C-alpha cells in the first residue's frame, strides 16, 4: 500500500513502513481489508433495529423497498441517523456529567485531590446560571454550580429548557428553537426518547424523527458546553501557550507517557504527579525524566491548559507505539482504538485503561476514581517507569518530525487579546474588521479524521484557501490536531498563508497582545467539547450586532468527520444556524427525503444546513461563496 494515499502526515509516512516490517496491521491496513465496504450501510439503508432483520432496501428500486415490518428507506435512514446523534450526545454528556459530579464533590469537600483553580471563571459561570456569589466561599459556589448543572440531567418539566443551552445561545436563536420544539429540557431524557422512538414500531415519520434527532444534537451541545465551562473552573481557563506537535515530541531519553481519550479528570492529575515523580524516572535511567504527550482530545485538553505537546490525532494514534519509545499509553474514554493494546503487546508499552465502563482486551486496567486520583496516577506513572526499563533499544525509531504550535485560544483568551486593542469594548476591533471586510468571515474547523479521506489533507487544503480569502480560522478536536501537526498553528503559517488584510489584523492583535508577531493562522480552541467556546464567541458577536447566529458570516467545517459525536456536533451546528460543511458523505444518501431534510429543509427551518462536498478545493470555494452571501444579506 502506498501510505501517501491514506495520510498526509509525514510521521505516519515514516512509521507505517516500521509497522509493515514488524508485520503488524495498522488502521490503514484494516481499512484496505474492509474493501469493498457494504453499499447498503454506506447509504444508511441497512436496518438492524430488530431481530427479524437485518433488512435492506434496494437503492436501485428493483429489490425490496421496505423492511419486514414495513419501514421504508426514509424511516430506516432517519432512524439510523438520529441514533448516531443520540450516541454522540450521550458520549459528550456523560463526560460532562462526570465533571459535574466531581465538581459537586469538590464543593462538598470530598475530593482533596481536586480544586477550583480558576475562581474567576467559576464566578462568571455562576453569574450565567443566576447563582449568587457575593460573600460566599468558593466551595459553596462550586457546589451550587454543579448542582444546578446536574439539573440539566434531571429536570422533568419539558417546558423548561436546560440551563446551559439557555445560558449559551442568543435570545433570537433560543426563541426559534423553542418554537420548533427542539430545545432539550433534560439531556438524559432526550437521549432516551431518541432510543425509544426509534424502537421497532414507533416513530416512522422521517421529518419527525430528524427533528427529534436535532433536539438530541442540541442536548449534545448542552452537555459539551457544561463540560467545557466546568473543566475550566476546575483546571483553569486556557491562555495562549507555545508548544509542539507531532510524533517527534516523544523523547528517547525520557519516560514517555501518552494520555489518550477525552476527560481531563484523570490526565490533569497524571500531569501533576508526573512532575513530582521526575527524579524516580531519572534514577531509572531516563535522563530527561517524565515526558507526557497527548493524543486526540485529552491531548487537546492538556495542550491548551499546560502546553503539553501533542503526539498525534485520532487516525495515527497507533503510530506512537511504533516509535518503540512509548512507555505507557493511558486512556480514559472515547476514540481509543481497540487495536492499541494488541500493538502494545508487541512492544514494551504498558497500555492502561482507567474507566470501569471502558475496558479493552489485552489492556492493564487501573480503576480510576476521583477520591483516589493522586494515588491511582502515581501507580500508573510507576508502571510507565518500570516499562522504560524493558525498552528494546534496537526497536526505537522516533522520526524527528514536529512543529511549533501556539494554542490555548479560549473565548476568554481571544477577548483578552482583543481587549489589548480596545479595553472598553474588546469586541469592537473584531466587529470593525469584519464589517470593513479585512476579515471576510469566520470558519470553525472541527471533527475527526477518517480513513475515507487522506488523513489531515482536507483540513489543510480548505484552511489554506480560506486563509488566502481572509477568513479567520478556528479549530477544535482532531482538526486542531491536524493543523498543529502540520505547522498551521504558528506565526510562520500566518506569514505564509494569510491573505493580506487578515495578516494585518492578526498581526495587529498579536503584537498588541504581546506575542511579538501575528496570532497563529488558526486559533486552537481546544477539544471537541470546546466547540462550545466558538459558539460563545459567535454568540457575543451576534448579540453585539443584534442579529441571530444564522446571520453571521460564519461557517463550520468537519472535512474528515467520523464519530457519532461528530455527527451530533455537526447537527447542532446546523440547528444553531450555521452552514456546516461535511467532507465525508454521511450515511443518509439512501433516502432523498432525509438528505433533503438536512440540507434544503434544514435551511428553511434553522437557517443552518449541511453542505456536503468531498473535494476540499471545491468545498473551500463553496464556503467562501456562503460567507459572501451572508455578508451580502447583512449589507456589508
Ligand atoms: Ni473528541 S470525536 S476522533 S478525539 S475529533 Fe478526534 Fe476528538 Fe473525532 Fe474523536
Phi then psi for 420, rounded to 5 degrees? -70, -20
Residue of 635, 624, 488 lying closest to 555 (CA atoms):
624
Per-residue pLDDT averaged across 281-294, rounded? 98
- 104, 96 Cβ separation under 8 angstroms: no
The CATH code that applies to domain 73-235 is: 1.20.1270.30
Per-residue pLDDT averaged across 119-141, rounded? 98
pLDDT over threshold 90, residue 235? yes
Identify the residue whose cell numbers are 471537541. Answer: 528
Per-residue pLDDT averaged across 64-78, rounded? 98
45 lines ligand 1 (CB under 6 A): no
pLDDT over threshold 90, residue 532? yes
Q: Lay out the sheet containing 441-445: strands in order across.
A: 522-526, 471-476, 441-445, 554-558, 579-582, 609-612
How far apart are the CA of 470 and the centre of ligand 1, in A? 27
How far apart are the CA of 314 and the centre of ligand 1, in A? 6
Number of Cβ within 10 Å of residue 342's Cβ equals: 18
How far apart are the CA of 448 and the centre of ligand 1, in A? 5
The residues, ordered by sequence, that sit 6+ positions from 603 with a Cβ below 8 Å of its Cβ are 609
Residue 202, annotated as binding a ligand: no
**Three-state secondary structure of 71-123:** CEHHHHHHHHHHHHHHHHHHHHHHHHHHHHHHHHHHHCCCCCCCCCCCHHHHH
Question: What residue owns the CA closest to ligand 1's atom 8?
Answer: 448
pLDDT over threshold 90, residue 215? yes
Residue 205 binned pLDDT confidence (cut-offs 50, 70, 90): very high
Which grid cell is 495?
A: 506569514
Residue of 528, 495, 247, 281 lying closest to 389 (CA atoms):
281
184 lines ligand 1 (CB under 6 A): no
Q: What SS3 class is residue 277?
A: coil
The residues, ordered by sequence, that sit 6+ positions from 156 with a Cβ below 8 Å of its Cβ are 185, 186, 189
Mean pLDDT of all residues belonging to the chain: 98
Question: What residue owns the CA closest to ligand 1's atom 1?
Answer: 528
Instruction: Give percent of the chain above pLDDT 70.
Output: 100
pLDDT for position 111: 98
448 lines ligand 1 (CB under 6 A): yes
Tell me how far the alpha carbon of residue 156 is from its chain's centroid: 29
Rounded CA gap, 220 and 217, in Å? 5
Per-residue pLDDT averaged across 448-472, rounded? 98
Identify the residue whose cell numbers are 453499499. Answer: 39
The CATH code that applies to domain 247-395 is: 3.40.50.2030
How far apart are the CA of 449 and the centre of ligand 1, in A? 8
Per-residue pLDDT averaged across 213-224, rounded? 98
Instruction: Tally the C-alpha atoms within 13 A of residue 334's C-alpha that lie toward its C-beta.
Output: 29
The residues, ordered by sequence, that sit 6+ positions from 363 with a Cβ below 8 Å of its Cβ are 331, 340, 341, 344, 351, 352, 353
Which grid cell is 509?
A: 492583535
Rounded CA gap, 502 and 313, in Å? 28
pLDDT for position 1: 80
| Segments making up each domain of the chain, as ranges | 3-56, 73-235, 247-395, 405-634
pLDDT over threshold 90, residue 484? yes
- 369-424 pLDDT, tens digit per residue, is 999 999 999 999 999 999 999 999 999 999 999 999 999 999 999 999 999 999 99
- 305, 236 Cβ separation under 8 angstroms: yes
Residue 335, annotated as binding a ligand: yes
Per-residue pLDDT averaged across 475-482, rounded? 98
pLDDT for position 470: 98
Residue of 119, 170, 167, 117 lying closest to 141 (CA atoms):
119
40 lines ligand 1 (CB under 6 A): no
- 154-178 pLDDT, tens digit per residue, is 999 999 999 999 999 999 999 999 9
Q: Lay out the sheet containing 310-312: strands in order across.
A: 364-365, 350-353, 328-331, 255-261, 290-295, 310-312, 241-245, 403-407
Rounded CA gap, 432 and 447, in Å? 30
Residue of 201, 278, 271, 205 lying closest to 243 (CA atoms):
271
Q: Give the ligand 1 atom nearest the CA of 562.
A: 8
pLDDT over threshold 90, residue 290? yes
Same fold, 247-395 and 405-634: yes
571 lines ligand 1 (CB under 6 A): no
The residues, ordered by sequence, that sit 6+ positions from 589 with a Cβ below 8 Å of its Cβ are 43, 44, 595
The CATH code that applies to domain 405-634 is: 3.40.50.2030
- 351, 364 Cβ separation under 8 angstroms: yes
- 286, 255 Cβ separation under 8 angstroms: yes
ipTM for this model: 0.92
Amino acid at each position: 500500500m502506498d501510505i501517501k494515499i491514506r495520510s498526509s502526515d509525514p510521521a505516519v509516512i515514516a512509521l507505517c513502513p516500521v509497522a509493515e516490517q514488524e508485520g503488524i496491521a495498522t488502521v490503514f491496513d484494516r481499512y484496505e481489508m474492509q474493501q469493498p465496504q457494504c453499499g447498503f450501510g454506506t447509504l444508511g439503508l441497512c436496518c438492524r433495529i430488530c431481530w427479524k432483520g437485518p433488512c435492506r432496501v434496494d437503492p436501485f428500486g428493483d429489490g425490496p423497498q421496505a423492511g419486514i415490518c414495513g419501514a421504508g428507506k426514509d424511516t430506516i435512514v432517519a432512524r439510523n441517523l438520529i441514533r448516531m446523534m443520540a450516541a454522540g450526545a450521550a458520549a459528550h454528556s456523560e463526560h460532562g456529567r462526570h465533571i459535574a459530579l466531581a465538581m459537586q464533590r469538590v464543593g462538598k469537600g470530598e475530593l482533596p485531590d481536586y480544586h477550583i483553580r480558576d475562581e474567576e471563571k467559576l464566578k462568571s459561570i455562576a453569574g450565567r446560571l443566576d447563582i449568587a456569589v457575593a460573600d460566599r466561599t468558593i466551595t459553596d459556589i462550586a457546589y451550587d454550580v454543579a448542582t444546578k448543572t446536574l439539573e440539566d440531567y434531571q429536570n422533568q418539566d419539558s417546558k423548561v429548557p436546560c440551563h446551559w443551552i439557555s445560558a449559551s445561545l442568543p435570545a433570537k436563536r433560543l426563541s426559534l428553537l423553542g418554537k420548533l420544539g427542539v430545545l432539550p429540557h433534560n439531556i438524559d431524557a432526550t437521549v432516551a426518547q431518541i432510543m425509544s422512538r426509534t424502537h421497532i414500531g414507533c416513530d416512522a415519520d422521517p421529518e419527525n424523527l430528524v427533528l427529534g434527532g436535532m433536539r438530541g444534537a442540541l442536548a449534545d451541545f448542552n452537555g459539551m458546553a457544561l463540560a467545557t465551562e466546568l473543566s475550566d473552573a476546575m483546571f483553569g481557563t486556557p491562555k495562549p501557550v507555545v508548544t509542539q506537535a507531532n510524533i517527534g515530541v516523544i523523547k528517547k531519553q525520557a519516560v514517555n507517557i501518552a494520555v489518550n481519550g477525552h476527560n481531563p479528570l484523570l490526565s490533569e492529575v497524571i500531569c501533576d504527579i508526573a512532575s513530582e515523580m521526575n527524579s524516580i524516572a531519572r534514577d531509572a535511567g531516563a535522563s530527561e525524566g517524565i515526558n507526557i504527550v497527548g493524543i486526540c482530545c485529552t491531548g487537546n485538553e492538556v495542550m491548551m491548559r499546560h502546553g503539553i505537546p501533542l503526539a498525534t490525532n485520532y487516525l495515527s494514534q497507533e503510530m506512537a507505539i511504533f516509535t518503540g519509545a512509548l512507555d505507557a499509553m493511558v486512556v480514559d474514554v472515547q476514540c481509543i482504538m481497540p487495536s492499541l493494546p494488541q500493538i502494545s503487546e508487541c512492544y514494551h508499552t504498558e497500555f492502561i485503561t482507567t474507566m470501569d465502563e471502558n475496558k479493552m482486551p489485552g489492556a492493564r486496567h487501573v480503576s480510576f476514581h476521583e477520591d483516589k486520583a493522586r494515588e491511582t496516577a502515581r501507580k500508573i506513572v510507576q508502571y510507565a517507569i518500570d516499562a522504560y526499563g524493558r525498552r528494546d533499544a534496537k526497536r526505537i525509531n522516533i522520526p524527528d518530525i514536529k512543529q511549533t504550535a501556539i494554542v490555548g485560544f479560549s473565548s476568554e483568551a481571544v477577548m483578552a487579546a482583543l481587549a489589548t486593542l480596545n479595553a472598553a469594548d474588546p469586541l469592537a476591533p473584531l466587529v470593525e474588521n469584519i464589517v470593513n471586510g479585512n476579515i471576510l468571515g469566520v470558519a470553525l474547523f472541527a471533527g475527526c479524521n477518517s480513513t475515507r479521506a487522506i488523513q489531515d489533507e482536507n483540513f489543510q487544503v480548505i484552511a489554506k484557501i480560506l486563509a488566502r480569502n481572509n477568513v479567520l480560522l478556528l479549530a477544535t478536536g482532531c482538526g486542531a490536531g491536524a493543523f498543529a501537526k502540520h505547522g498551521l498553528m504558528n506565526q510562520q503559517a500566518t506569514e505564509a498563508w494569510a491573505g493580506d488584510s487578515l495578516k494585518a489584523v492578526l498581526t495587529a492583535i498579536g503584537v498588541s497582545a504581546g506575542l511579538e508577531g501575528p496570532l497563529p493562522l488558526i486559533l486552537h480552541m481546544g477539544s471537541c467539547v470546546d466547540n462550545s467556546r466558538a459558539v460563545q464567541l459567535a454568540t457575543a458577536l451576534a448579540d453585539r450586532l443584534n442579529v441571530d447566529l444564522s446571520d453571521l458570516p460564519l461557517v463550520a467545517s468537519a472535512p474528515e468527520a467520523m464519530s457519532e459525536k461528530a455527527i451530533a456536533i455537526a447537527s447542532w451546528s446546523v440547528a444553531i444556524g450555521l452552514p456546516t460543511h461535511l467532507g465525508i458523505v454521511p450515511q443518509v444518501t439512501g433516502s432523498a427525503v432525509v438528505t433533503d431534510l438536512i440540507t434544503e429543509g434544514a435551511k428553511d427551518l434553522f437557517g443552518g444546513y449541511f453542505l456536503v462536498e468531498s473535494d476540499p478545493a471545491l468545498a473551500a470555494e463553496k464556503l467562501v461563496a456562503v460567507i459572501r452571501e451572508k455578508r451580502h444579506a447583512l449589507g456589508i
